[in-house]
Amino acid sequence: MRLLITSIPWTDTESPLLAPALLKGMCQSRNIKTTALDLNIEVLQLLKSKYDSKTVSSLQEFFYNGTKDFNRQKVKEVIDFCVSRILSHSPTHVAMSLLTYTSKIACEWICFRLRQKAPDVKIIIGGAGIFNTLESKQNIAETLLAQGQIDYFIKGDGDLSLPDLLLQEKGIKAEGINSTQWQQVPDLNNQPFPDYSDYKMELYSNQSIGIVGSRGCVRRCTFCDIHEHWKKFQWRSAEDIFEELLWHKERTKITKFKFQDSLINGNQVEFRKLMKLLADHNTLYPKKQIKWSSFFIFRPQSQMPEEDWANIGKSAHHLTVGIEAINQEVRFHMGKKFTNQDMHYCFDMCAKYKIACQMLLIVGYVTDTEKTHIETMEWFRNNKKYVNDPITSVSFGGTLGILPGTELYRRKDELGIVLKDEQFDHKWSIEATSNTPAVRLKWVQEQTKSCIKAGFRVQSMIDNHLLMEQMMK
């Protein structure tokens, strides 16, 4: 048995994708001969070296949304490159990781071409991208399985399910295969570390390594559907995470890390221990300091005394913070229970200890009005002191979408939300407050202008992980 695990394009990123390396570590620990490739970055670099920016953009548009106007020959070249790289390792099994729905189209094409060239190879797909997209409720995994284009799909944590699946012939029972039901890994601690040894590290402009410190989230924000995937918040101990950081540092010489968690400080006790371990390490080795970036939550001042911020500042490179709403009442309705006073305290601490922040905002929440919109614009004008110190950028993540599986979706009738088309989660209105798609578009345009006029840098992308990577440079 020879397993090949690979990422599938298209994900805009400048650093290694984690999933293939993580799954390789798990499979190798079970004595499965495994190779892990990051085909996503290989394709991105190939196209940048081969085509002009206009051609690359048109290919990206095709792989994102399947536009009918595309260059078939160039798409075929991309797919054939991927298939050739996969088959060059003579695998008996190929596992494909789809990070987001933007990998869906490339996955379909690669599966089709693999079936043509190597019909005996078993194909497994998994990852968040195999499920509902913004445009469609169709499950690509079930569709490809029915068509015979794949042999298996795994919905949830593949850490155990993938090696169990491959070892079924030895009597191992595999859970969560070709099913929407699955079990979370019972314990994230003391697991094999991700193995990046097959990656072409020279291709990445951002030399950073992904780390998983937790899965799920301690918050239950009304607009988020993460609890539909990870119903239970799990975390690793500070000691286990710190050991992994040192392990990667020793083997790769890379000292920058990007936590893939929904937030790094969900478990405040373990987070505080980790910050102390890193602070002590960086003090002891000033020329070999470990730096990290992550999504982060602001907490009330009583939960984060200044001593915590001082330790965070000794290792943090960049924090991506979901403020989401300037108006305190709107933020509380979302489930983000920190006051404006807490918010300013945290920004002040970040400035004092030289911790760069990216500020995330959602425009047009269900309780937003013209009044809260004006308040947001005034905040930018009144808080110019935070420009680049510590707020290095503001990201308006588009207007609010009502996602299935969220509290907002479940309460839509109570809240007066009229969802015009459930396949297009931004097409909703609350007539009583004139909160319509057209009004929200106006708000995001006006807030962006106000933000820029105040001196803040606006940098909005679909994938805030890429924004985080750019801040790490």
pLDDT digits (tens, 9 = 90+) for 99-139: 888 899 999 999 999 999 999 999 999 988 887 544 445 57
Q: How confident is the model at residue 251 (pLDDT cuts 50, 70, 90)?
A: very high
Which segments of 238-367 are extended strands (E)?
256-259, 291-296, 316-324, 356-363
What CATH topology corresponds to 3-170?
A: Rossmann fold (3.40.50)
Average pLDDT in the chain: 91
Task: Report the distance separating Cα 79 and Cα 258, nearest Å.
Answer: 29
Tell me the per-residue pLDDT of 360-392, one tens digit each, with 9 for 90 and over: 999 999 999 999 999 999 999 999 999 999 999
The first and second tokens of residue 224, run together, are 């988020």
The predicted pLDDT at position 250 comes to 95
Give the CA dihedral 250, 244, 34, 1, nearest 10 degrees: 130
Looking up tokens 């989660």, which residue turns up? 425
The predicted pLDDT at position 459 comes to 86
Task: Report the distance separating Cα 15 and Cα 205, nearest Å.
Answer: 7
Q: Considering only CA atoms, which of 419, 385, 384, 416 is closest in space to residue 401?
A: 419
- Indicate the SS3 state at residue 8: coil
Q: Where are the domains of the chain?
A: 3-170, 204-472
Which residues lie below 8 Å from residue 417, measured CB to CB, with a gap of 6+?
366, 402, 408, 411, 428, 429, 430
Bigger pLDDT: 239 vs 337: 239
| Region 261-279 average pLDDT | 95
The predicted pLDDT at position 466 comes to 47
- Percent of the chain, pLDDT > 90? 74
Q: Which CATH class for the 204-472 domain?
A: alpha beta
| Region 52-79 average pLDDT | 87
Q: In whole angstroms, how large is the CA radius of gyration of the chain?
A: 23
- Indicate the SS3 state at residue 244: helix
The predicted pLDDT at position 114 comes to 97
C-alpha 22: how far from chain center: 15
Which segments of 375-452 are extended strands (E)?
391-399, 418-419, 428-429
Report angle CA 417, 420, 426 to the nearest 5 degrees.
80
Residue 15 near residue 204, CB atoms below 8 Å: yes
The predicted pLDDT at position 219 comes to 87
The first and second tokens of residue 329, run together, are 């009442």
* Run of H or E including 41: helix 39-50
| Region 172-177 average pLDDT | 86
Backbone angles phi, psi at 68, to 5 degrees: -75, -25
Q: How confident is the model at residue 297 (pLDDT cuts 50, 70, 90)?
A: very high
Residues present in the chain in total: 473
Task: Report the distance separating Cα 436 and Cα 422, nearest Å.
Answer: 15
pLDDT(180) > 90: no
- Indicate the SS3 state at residue 45: helix
pLDDT(468) > 80: no
pLDDT(471) > 60: no
Task: Report the distance separating Cα 360 and Cα 460, nearest Å.
Answer: 9
- Percent of the chain, pLDDT > 70? 95
| Region 17-46 average pLDDT | 96
The predicted pLDDT at position 458 comes to 95
The first and second tokens of residue 96, run together, are 């494909």
Tell me the per-residue pLDDT of 204-240, one tens digit each, with 9 for 90 and over: 988 899 999 999 898 889 999 887 777 889 999 999 9
Q: How confident is the model at residue 41 (pLDDT cuts 50, 70, 90)?
A: very high
Q: How confident is the model at residue 465 (pLDDT cuts 50, 70, 90)?
A: very low
The first and second tokens of residue 113, run together, are 């071409």
Q: Within a 10 A sphere around the Cβ of 108, how many other Cβ atoms?
A: 20
Q: Strand pairing partners for 154?
A: 126, 177
